[in-house]
Each structure stands twice: as structure tokens, then as C-alpha cells.
Structure 1
């Protein structure tokens, strides 16, 4: 959530061996590795291995701490990618997966989406406060000492918190019985594929502003390093409210919105914000960049909380077919799909940043070297909301499209 601070430092103070532009996909690779590993970890700790959850989380904290510590001794870009981008992410996944499984079991009957939303809002609290902490550490002591200090912070807070997480009583005795098979019948329903494709697209664009917003603020808007850090904090801050809000919206029975509608609101709004606000920013135009950061940050930060509504729909479809379903495994699978989007978006971002400018006015963000990245973010976000088309009746939509085309032709004539 705060990698943009390191990305800005690496860009300004490159002393390592290798291509400095490659640092752009460290943050997105870390997210990708973390999410890609979750389906396997969720499957591992769902049944017979449930009693190992706390130990696995503690091992994850150790792996993450060792990774960040070794990262402080990096001398090449390869070292940074291996430690900050891969092994630290695996450690974080070992913390996140068993804890999230326990959360879903405690809230299995009601308010599960809201519970997920409240927990997910905590990452935005970190993403809002830690950029300033890391910036102060880097400016005062350099990035190596900052990483060592971060190692202590991660270790202290993680280990204390892990011991506070209860495991659901029904899972404590799972190792004494025969391991149950994970039901895979949900793969026969088209819902899982609709949602998976949408998550891949949304995640591809979500990690781009997190990585490049600070450097964009400095290079194009000509803001100071402190202002660039502020942009990252403003990006993360709205998600504190958004995660809980969209979790509540997914659980709310009085507001009759389908899971498709709720899950389509964040990515479509993010696409509009990208095209209208980020793409039209100009040199010194901090106001429009602030609006983009907060709008994109609010809706993209709340997207994961809509997964609770997706799970309820998938469970309902399974019940209608009298099929078994494991919500924890489903949630892990959705996280894994998100990892595909994160990783692909990270690699695409590095390539697009080196692709050169597009044909647009150099006054605006579209006409800068960040233009391809802006378009990529907007298009992938828009495609992330394609599930809204799920319930559309083509017989009703096609005449409407034909009518709009005829109206445009008349105006042209």
C-alpha cells in the first residue's frame, strides 16, 4: 500500500545495479504473488490443516521480516525484486490467509461482507499513515535503515496481533477426523467466470496509481516529494470508509441491489475518474490530481468488500442445485484471480511507461510519458465493471443502441 514512497526514492536516488525502471513492478509483483498464493493457502488451511493456522501465520511474520531485512542489503534490482517483491509477499500471504479464513467462519451466517469490509479498511489505514512514516525514515536515515526499522514494526505488530486471533471452535478438532474434500461443483456455474474476469481487469488497473502516483506528481505536476507522498495518502485514505460501506451495501437487505450491480459500481466509477481527472491534469494542476486520488482511491479501495455479495450469490446458486460449497475456498480463489490481474498490470505498466507518448496535447496527462498508463488504467477499470451487462436483455438493448446511432447520424447530417 505504501510502495510508491520507495518507488519515488529509487527513481531519484538510484545506486543499485540494473534498470531503475524495473522497480515499477516490485509493488505490483508483491501484490500479485500474495494474491496468487492464496487459493493454495486457503485450500491448505480450510480442512485438516486448520489447527496449524496460528503457527503458519507466525512463520509468515518471520519470513516477511527476514525478507525486508535482507532487502536493506540489496545491491541489484534482482535482490529488490526477490526480497521486496516475492518472499516478503509470501510471508504476508501466510499471515493473511489463515486469519481471513477464521474471520469468514466466525461470520458465516450474517454480516460477513461487512466484517470483511471492516478488516479490509485496516489496510487503507496503513496506506494512509505509513507513507509519511516511511518518507520520514527514508529522508532521515536512508532507505536501508528505513527497511530495517520497518522490519521491527512488521515483526512487533504482526506477532502480537496473531496471538489475538481466535480460531473457530469447529476447526480446532478438524485434524482428528478424516480430511473432507473441497467441493468443486461451483466451477460448473458461469457466475464464477463472470466475476473472475471482472476481478482480473479491475486489479490490472488498480495497482498502477499506487505505484506511479508519487512519481507522476513530481515529474508532471512538478510537486515536491512531500506532496507526492500526500497524494499516495489521499489515494488510500478514502478506502477506510469505502471498504466498510461496500461491505454494508453487499449485506444490506433493504437496498435491493444485485451483487453484479454493487460490484460494477467501483470499477466503472474508477474508469470515469481516470479519464476525466487523471488524464486531464496539467502542470501545476494539483486540484484535479487530488480529486482523482480521492475518487479512485475510494471506489477501488472498496472493491474487495463487494466480494461478500459475490460469495452470497455463489452460495445461493449452490443451494438451488443442492450442491456443497466452501465459502473460504471461494474467497481464496477470488484473491488468486486478483493476483493474476496485479501481476499482469505490473508488467504492463513498466512496458507502457517506456512506450513513449501518445498523440495528445502535451498540456494534459494523456500527452505525457504517462499517457499510455492512464489509458490502460481507465480501460481496464471500465472492463472490470462488465458484469453489469449480465442481466441485460439483448432484445431490449439492441433497439436502444440502434436508436442512438440514428440520432447521431441525424445530428451529423
Structure 2
């Protein structure tokens, strides 16, 4: 969530060869794409008892990788250590804990539980940019990475130790992996929408600081604040959207549309117009997009509830923890596609000859891509409602 801060520091090291943006893209890809595999394996009979051990190994692998990266001298080394090994360690730590969370709240309030977890992520994303910026300025990249490695190891082990394993997780055994959810369109509707939305979601986090510095000439500290402004609103919106699902029983498709439409409006009206000349517009975009886009993940609990109901209607088994892992996999594909597209979009440049509009800057194509991916991320509502209407008529 704070890679943009590190990317600026890496770009300042002129001896590094290659595009530093690939580091962040690889990190997201490896971490999220490994989650479907890990969640499936860790729910199998032979692997389920090893969930806590896998989480501990993941914390150690991530910490060692960050520590080793403090001696990196080129982009390729950073990609291997941070983009691959540290990301894999993070996934090994994250996947078992989300399986436990799902098991604890399988009887109800799942969306709210997920939302609280996402809210904590946003709390970290709000404070960490300032911490990382201060450390990078005063200590440099190498020392910052060593301190971060120690923090990952200590906090990771503490978190794994404190989180209780639900009794059902230790005793539940599956004779076979339930794949029947792949036969129903609901999974594909939400997975594809999630993939498309994720293509644009990571781009503002990566480029917002550089954009603010280049066009608004903000000092480095104020540009860093843009990342914090992006994450802070999500502290409330993630919990709010979870409560909409669990307490007010707003449908998951409606929740998804609200999040996606709000995100797209913020991109087109706030980032795309005069944000390159009016600081207040860019601040408003960071807050607004952060509010609606961060809440998108909170709709996943409702999605899984829909798939469980569909499975029950067909008298089929479904493993909700495994489905959650597959949703993370779809997000990972989106992050990779968006990250790789971002480089090409920046090279494509302006969409307008007028420099008065943000669409006329080098970021014009990237802004348009972000807005479109956000809007299309809400298409699940239209498809799902159309499907229901078709079923009713038939």
C-alpha cells in the first residue's frame, strides 16, 4: 500500500537499471495469485493441521527477504527478493489467517468481519507512508528495509500467535475439494468484475505522489500525504459497506455498484479535469476515490454469501475460504494487468492537446483507463439483474 513511497526512493538511485514499477507489479501478482493455491491446499486434510506453521514460515520468509533486499544493487534483485520471495511469504502468512476468520464468522456477520480486517489495512496504509518517508529521508533505503524486516518478523509472529484457531478448522476434513461453484455464473460474474476493477485500483496508489510532485509542484512530504489521504477514508467505508450487507441487508450487487460508480465518478470528475492545476481537486480525488474504491473489497463477504445460497439451492458443497482465495487470485490478475498497462499508458501520454486539463497531461490515458476499469467493475449488477429477469420470464 506504500510502494509508491519506495518507488520514488528507488528511482532516486540512478545506478538501478530497469523499471522500478515492475517490483510493485510483481509483488501484487505473486502475493494474490498464490492465494487460490494456498487456500485450496490448506483446506485439504493433509495440510489443514499445518496452517499455523505455514503462517510462521511465511513471516520468516518475508522478513528475511526484506532484510536481504537491503543489499540490492539492481532492479532484478529487488524483483526476486521483494517481488517474489517477500510476496510469497506475505501470502503464506495472510492466507491461513483469512481462513480462520472465515471459519469464525461462517454463521453470520462475515461481511462485517472482512470489513474490519480491511479497515485495519487502511489504518496501516494511512500511517505507514509518513513513517516510511521519514525513515527513508533520515536513514536511507538500506537501513529502512532492515528495520522493516524486523518489524515484519516481530509483528507477524505476534499476530499469528494471538489469533485463535477456530475448533472447526482443526477438525474439518474434506473428502474432496468442492469445485461445483465453478459451474455457476455467479462466481464468474463477481470474479471478472473484481479483476477488471483491480486493473485500475492500484494505479492511483502507485502514481499519485509522482503526479502531485510533477504537476502541482508539491514538496515530497505533501506528495506522500496523498497516499495517506487515499487510505484514510477506507477506514470508515470498508466497515460501512460491510454493515450495509450484514445489518441493512443491501444486496451484494447493489453494494458493488455503489462502490464502482462512486470510484468512476471521482476519477472522471476530480482527477481527470483540473487536478493538474488545482490542488484541492487532487485532494478531493484522493479522499473520494479512496472512500469508494477501498470499500469494494468489503463487498466480497456478500458475494460469498450469494454463492453459498446458490450452492444450497443446488444441494452442493462449497468451501467459502477457498472461494475467498480465488477472489484474491482474480484481484492479483487485475493488479498485474493494470501494473503492466500503466507503463504503456504513461508512454501513450495525453488524450488532449490542452494542458489545462489532467487528460491533457502525460497521465491522461492512465486516468481514462482507471475510470473505465472502475465503472466496468460494477457491471456485475447489470448482468446479475439481467440474469434474474431472464430467469423470471422463463
Determine the structure 1 residue equivalent to 2:158: 160
Verify the 8 A CA contact 1:25 1:349 in the aligned structure 2: no
Matches for 1:182-197 after TM superposition, within 5 Å: 182-197=177-192
Does 1:381 pair with 2:379?
no
Alignment of 1:47-196 (within 5 A): 47-48=44-45, 49-173=47-171, 179-196=174-191
Map of 1:411 onto structure 2: none
Deviation at 1:287, TM superposition (A): 0.4
2:299 maps to 306
2:19 pairs with 1:26: no
Partner residue of 2:39 out of 33, 38, 42: 42
Bigger-Rg structure (1/2): 1
Structure 1 unaligned runs (5+)? 397-413
Quote the residue 2:230 is aligned against: 235
Mapped to 1, the partners of 2:246 and 2:171 lie a distance apart of: 30
The residue number in structure 2 matching 1:9 is 9
> How far is the alpha carbon of 1:283 from its aligned partner?
4.2
| 1:210-258, Cα deviation, whole Å (9 max, x unpaired) | 1111111101121110011100000011111111111111212x44x32
TM-score by length of 1: 0.90
| CA drift at 1:192 | 0.7
Residue 32 of structure 1: how far off its partner (Å): 2.0
Q: How many residues align?
A: 387
Cα distance in 1 for residues equivalent to 2:329 and 2:272 = 30
Tell me, which stretches of 5 or more residues in structure 2 are unaligned?
390-394
Offset of residue 311 of structure 1: 0.6
Structure 1 residues 193 and 391: CA distance shift in structure 2, 3 A = closer
User: Aligned-pair distance for 1:162?
Assistant: 0.8
Following TM superposition, by how much is the alpha carbon of 1:144 offset from its aligned partner in structure 2, in angstroms? 1.3
Deviation at 1:15, TM superposition (A): 2.9
Task: Quote the offset at 1:392 in angstroms.
Answer: 4.5
2:339 is equivalent to residue 340 of structure 1: no
Map of 1:355 onto structure 2:
348
| 2:225 equivalent to 1:225 | no
Call closer, same or farther: CA 1:28–1:236 in 2, change over 3 Å: farther
Whole-angstrom CA distance in 2 between matches of 1:8 and 1:364: 25
Q: 1:284 Cα deviation (Å)?
A: 4.4
Corresponding residue for residue 249 of structure 1: 244
Partner Cα distance (2:312, 2:124) in 1: 38
Q: 1:184 to 1:282 in 2, by over 3 A?
A: closer
CA drift at 1:155: 1.1
Q: What does residue 392 of structure 2 align with?
A: none
CA RMSD of aligned residues (A): 1.6
Aligned to 1:409: none
CA contact (8 A) 1:33 1:343 kept: no
Task: Give, in whole Å, the separation in 2 of the partners of 1:146 and 1:259.
Answer: 41
Partner of 1:407 in structure 2? none
2:20 aligns to what SS in structure 1? helix
Asked whether the 8 Å contact 1:186–1:325 carries over to 2, the reply is yes
TM-score scaled by length of structure 2: 0.95
The Cα of 1:362 is off from its aligned counterpart by 0.9
Counterpart of 2:268?
275
